Structure 1
């Protein structure tokens, strides 16, 4: 299904009814990462999955997709579905969008989960790396996609989950170059929402992988304590929806 938003299409899927749960994918991902989760969880509630701008089957809306731009596209889908309240869970970049959504629309969320994500803004080094990545994408999208996704897992898990990782790469290779660059630039300038997260009064969860090559596990653990968020630990890398699927599925049932 899709809606027209800012003269382009935003793709989404919905299944089940009642007590809405919104699942947001990360960078170089699409709503397909949640397919099994949606099928399973929708037996007891409505589960909405959205392709964020420039990803999956959703179009690009600007040269830079800020987290606000993406959050507003999520709101447009919820308006289309007449959803007034929802629990939001986001993986990696989807977590950044999740927090910005909380910032703009504080009366809608009933809770949030940040999966392999952080409320912190990019460090100076990380911002420089975003610019470097932008240049690589402009020259060779295929090389960037293969490298970036492989770097999310340990070498052992790249081998163990090769079919799933290859599927992730193949889907990302179909995303427009402009969409990938727009997301990189949007993530680079995102706000630090640590204070926002600390002030939220409804259920909030941070999930981290002990072997995550992208996010520092101990730092996420400290942030969880500092913001009064419940911490959930997984034994593997950055792709919990692949590497720790059962544990993440169990958590999704827990928040029901």
Structure 2
């Protein structure tokens, strides 16, 4: 399925009826990361997955894809599908997009899971790393994708989930360099959303990997406490939906039973 947003195609899936779950993938990912979870989630309602701009089959919209621009694309899909309220799961960059969506449309968010993500903005060091990443993408997109994705998992899980990791990489190789760079630029300039998260009165959960190379465990636990979020750690690195699949599903459906 697709819609036209600002004269560009945004691709998505929508299945089932009832309470809606919106699943947002991370950087260098696509809606396909959620495919294996859809049958389980459909037992509890409707499921919508979206390819964020410049990722999956969705087209590049601008030179910079701010989190707000991506959130606007998500809103356009939900408007098309006549969704008035939904539960959101945002993985990594998808969490940043979900937070931008919450800021714009607070009444539309019922429950919220930040998965391997943070409401904090990029540190100075992280911004420098984004700049370096942009230069690498310009020179050798494929090498950047391969290295960046492998580095998200613990070394043992990178070997354990070779097939799944290669599938993520193969899909990402098809993304235009412009889309990857636009996302890097957008993540670099995103703003702090801790106050917003603290003020959100719906159910809110932060899930992180015990050995996530991008999210420091002690720091995210402190944020969860400060923002009054339920907090869970799962074995593995930055791809908890893959590295700790069964535990992730249990967390997602625990409030539905």
Which TM-score bucket, shorter chain as reference?
over 0.9
SS of the equivalent of 1:42 reads helix
Please name the residue that 1:211 is paired with.
Answer: 211
- Asked if structure 2 preserves the Cα contact closer than 8 Å seen for 1:68 and 1:97, the reply is yes
Residue 39 (structure 1) shift? 1.9
- Asked if structure 2 preserves the Cα contact closer than 8 Å seen for 1:15 and 1:39, the reply is no
Please name the residue that 1:223 is paired with.
Answer: 223
- Per-residue displacement from partner, 1:124-157 (whole Å, max 9, x unpaired)? 0000100100000011000100010011011111
RMSD: 0.7
Please name the residue that 1:60 is paired with.
Answer: 60
Residue 251 (structure 1) shift? 1.4
Q: How does the TM-score come out when normalised to structure 1?
A: 0.99
* Pairing of 1:1-256 with structure 2 (within 5 A): 1-256=1-256
Residue 186 (structure 1) shift? 0.2
Residue 193 (structure 1) shift? 0.1
Q: Quote the Cα distance in structure 2 between the aligned partners of 1:254 and 1:61.
A: 37
Q: Quote the Cα distance in structure 2 between the aligned partners of 1:74 and 1:254.
A: 26
Residue 255 (structure 1) shift? 3.3
Q: Quote the Cα distance in structure 1 between the aligned partners of 2:253 and 2:182.
A: 34
Residue 44 (structure 1) shift? 2.4
Q: Quote the Cα distance in structure 1 between the aligned partners of 2:178 and 2:172.
A: 12
Structure 2: stretches of 5+ with no match in the other structure? none
SS of the equivalent of 2:106 reads coil
SS of the equivalent of 2:107 reads coil
Q: Quote the Cα distance in structure 2 between the aligned partners of 1:106 and 1:154.
A: 35
- Per-residue displacement from partner, 1:27-54 (whole Å, max 9, x unpaired)? 0000000001112211220010000000
Q: How does the TM-score come out when normalised to structure 2?
A: 0.98
- Asked if structure 2 preserves the Cα contact closer than 8 Å seen for 1:16 and 1:44, the reply is no
How many pairs does the alignment contain?
A: 256
Residue 70 (structure 1) shift? 0.3
Q: Quote the Cα distance in structure 2 between the aligned partners of 1:36 and 1:59.
A: 24
SS of the equivalent of 2:134 reads helix
Point out 4+ residue stretches in structure 1 off by more than 6 angstroms.
Answer: none
Q: Quote the Cα distance in structure 1 between the aligned partners of 2:85 and 2:255.
A: 15
- Per-residue displacement from partner, 1:207-254 (whole Å, max 9, x unpaired)? 011111111111111110011000011011000111011111111112
Q: Quote the Cα distance in structure 2 between the aligned partners of 1:36 and 1:16.
A: 15
Q: Quote the Cα distance in structure 1 between the aligned partners of 2:126 and 2:235.
A: 24
